[in-house]
């Protein structure tokens, strides 16, 4: 089995190494093609206005000066001599829960894999607010990754389907198990633009998702992760909201 490992935190991210370690439990045929720089929040964006550079770091290890989607395309169209059987994207430093999936480069790399008809899984490690940056622990992803992924190797994936996995911010021995749940939506976010002044006296802004407040709906990823579970959520690239089709058609 050939596995492509990618991410959105970049080729040097610690979580990428965690994903590689998990991948090696399943196969020796592991290829890494990841963005050269961090691309968190890049979503499913493509680079169309600049050239891409491909750098080789090892026999089966490459970086691309673009987005996670660029990296997956580069892997499938240029680097690999045949399609992989599985794409693992991550392990992301931080949650990809609820509507995060629409911003996430990690999830979008898996979307690109799904578009290419390849079994694709996004992996994200939630962390406590006080343990951000380089202090994030990937211990739960390391301990639970193989168990969370193995059933996905021979379960059917419909065309356009991908799977989003999140590991809770707990010591591994406190994890309650694995739950298959829906994507949630947060009720209320306190995002703000943090304004500072640069050394030349001009203002600059930094988006900050401070103190997100929400009540998680039952059987969603948000609820299950808060309860200490590893969450497994099937996603689909068809974003049609079917409940609105007939009422919207009647409005025209």
Q: Given candidates 69, 89, 92, 183, which one binds Mn ion under the rule CB under 5 A? A: 92
Q: Does 67 bind Mn ion (CB under 5 A)?
A: no
Check binding of 124 to Mn ion (CB under 5 A). no
Closer by beta carbon to Mn ion, 124 or else 179: 124
Q: Which is nearer to Mn ion, 6 or 92 (CB)?
A: 92
Q: Is 40 in the site for Mn ion (CB under 5 A)?
A: yes
Q: Smallest distance from the beta carbon of 10 to Mn ion, in angstroms?
A: 8
Nearest-approach distance from CB 7 to Mn ion, in angstroms: 7
Does 9 sit near Mn ion (CB under 5 A)?
yes
For the bound state, the minimum distance from the C-beta of residue 194 to Mn ion, rounded and expressed in Å, comes to: 19
Q: Which residues make beta-bridge pairs with 93?
A: 125
Residue whose CB is less far from Mn ion, 6 or 220: 6
How far apart CA 222 and CA 218 sit, in angstroms, is 9
**Of residues 9 and 182, the one with the C-beta less far from Mn ion:** 9
How many Å apart are CA 215 and CA 15, to the nearest integer? 29
Q: Closest approach of Cβ 93 to Mn ion, in Å? A: 6
Q: How far is the CB of 215 from Mn ion (least distance, A)?
A: 26
Cβ at position 191, least distance to Mn ion in Å: 17
Nearest to Mn ion of 40, 231 (CB atom): 40
Q: Is 220 in the site for Mn ion (CB under 5 A)?
A: no
Stretch that binds Mn ion, among 1-9, 24-32, 143-151, 202-210 (CB under 5 A): 1-9
Non-local CB neighbours of 3 within 8 Å, separated by 6+ positions: 23, 26, 27, 29, 30, 31, 84, 85, 86, 87, 88
Size of the site for Mn ion (CB under 5 A): 4
Query: CA-to-CA distance for 203 and 185, rounded, in angstroms?
Result: 33
Please give the Cα distance from 208 to 193 (Å, whole number): 6
> Among the candidate windows 2-10, 46-54, 204-212, 244-252, which touches Mn ion by CB under 5 A?
2-10
Cα–Cα distance for residue pair 79/250, rounded to 1 Å: 49
Contact flag: residue 8 with Mn ion (CB under 5 A): yes
Residue 6 near Mn ion by CB under 5 A: no
- Bridge-partner residues for 30, per DSSP? 3
Write out the residues near Mn ion by the rule CB under 5 A: 8-9, 40, 92
């Amino acid at each position: 089995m050939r596995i492509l490992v990618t991410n959105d935190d970049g080729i040097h991210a610690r979580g990428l190494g965690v994903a590689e370690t998990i991948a090696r439990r399943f196969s020796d045929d592991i290829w890494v093609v990841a963005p050269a720089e961090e691309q968190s929040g890049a979503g499913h964006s493509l680079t169309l206005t600049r050239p891409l550079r491909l750098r080789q770091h090892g026999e089966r290890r490459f970086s691309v000066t673009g987005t996670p989607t660029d990296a997956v395309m580069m892997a499938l169209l240029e680097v690999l001599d045949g399609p992989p059987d599985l794409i693992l994207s991550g392990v992301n430093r931080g949650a990809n829960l609820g509507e995060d999936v629409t911003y996430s480069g990690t999830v979008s790399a898996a979307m690109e894999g799904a578009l290419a008809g390849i079994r694709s899984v996004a992996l994200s490690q939630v962390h406590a607010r006080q343990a951000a940056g380089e202090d994030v622990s990937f211990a739960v992803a390391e301990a639970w990754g193989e168990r969370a992924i193995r059933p996905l190797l021979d379960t059917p994936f419909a065309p356009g389907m991908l799977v989003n996995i999140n590991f809770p911010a707990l010591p591994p021995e406190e994890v309650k198990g694995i739950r298959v749940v829906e994507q949630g939506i947060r009720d209320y976010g306190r995002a703000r633009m943090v304004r500072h002044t640069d050394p030349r006296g001009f203002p600059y802004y930094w988006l900050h998702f401070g103190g997100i407040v929400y009540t998680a709906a039952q059987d969603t990823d948000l609820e299950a992760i808060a309860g200490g579970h590893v969450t497994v959520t099937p996603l689909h690239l068809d974003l049609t909201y079917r409940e609105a089709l007939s009422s919207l058609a009647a409005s025209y």
